[in-house]
Amino acid sequence: MKANQSDEIRLSIPNKPEYVGVARLTVAAIASRIGFDIEKIEDMKIAISEACNNAITHGCRYCDEGEYNINFVLTEKKLTISVYDKGEGCKCELEDIRKPNYNNLKEGGLGIFIIKSLMDDVEIESEKGKGMMIRMIKYLGDGI
């Protein structure tokens, strides 16, 4: 890929858990194409699964849309993955996501924390009633 060039791939996925594997395979295929190592690819597969599960379980819980979307933007330096749904949205702020209390682990509430731990940059955009978008970036090499 030439410097300053970017390519975009868009995916629309039915909001059913059985298709999360498609997102995992897609991110692995795209990331290996541009030279990410296995470790970073595994990180991205876990992160995208968490984001997809959130789109399905929270985002699309009551919405009529039968699908959610993923955009992949790749450059020679990074891969940006945006997972967005048109569901109920949420008031979740990244700053509010804290380290889990390991002495009192409750079920749930770990997904966004895991995404933040595995990806280099994470942003959330959400508006009540209009859905949520989580943007996750992984850089190639060491560089940020």
Binding site for ligand ATP (CB under 6 A): 50, 54-55, 58-59, 85, 87-90, 92, 108-113, 132
Cβ nearer to Mg ion, comparing 15 with 54: 54
40, 27 in Cβ contact below 8 A? no
The token duo for 96 is 């509010």
Closest residue by beta carbon to ligand ATP: 111
* Min separation Cβ 110 and ligand ATP, Å: 4
Q: Segment 100-119, which members bind Mg ion (CB under 5 A)?
A: 111
51, 85 in Cβ contact below 8 A? no
CA distances from 137 to 47, 106, 120 (A): 10, 28, 6
89 binding partner (options Mg ion, ligand ATP, none; Cβ < 5 to 8 Å by kind): ligand ATP
Closest CA to 112 of 67, 65, 46: 46
- Give the x-and-dash track for 28-67 against Mg ion (CB under 5 A): --------------------------x-------------
Backbone dihedral angles phi then psi of residue 136, each to the nearest 5 degrees: -125, 135
* Min separation Cβ 78 and ligand ATP, Å: 23
Secondary structure of residue 44 in the 3-state scheme: helix
Residues that bind Mg ion (CB under 5 A): 54, 111
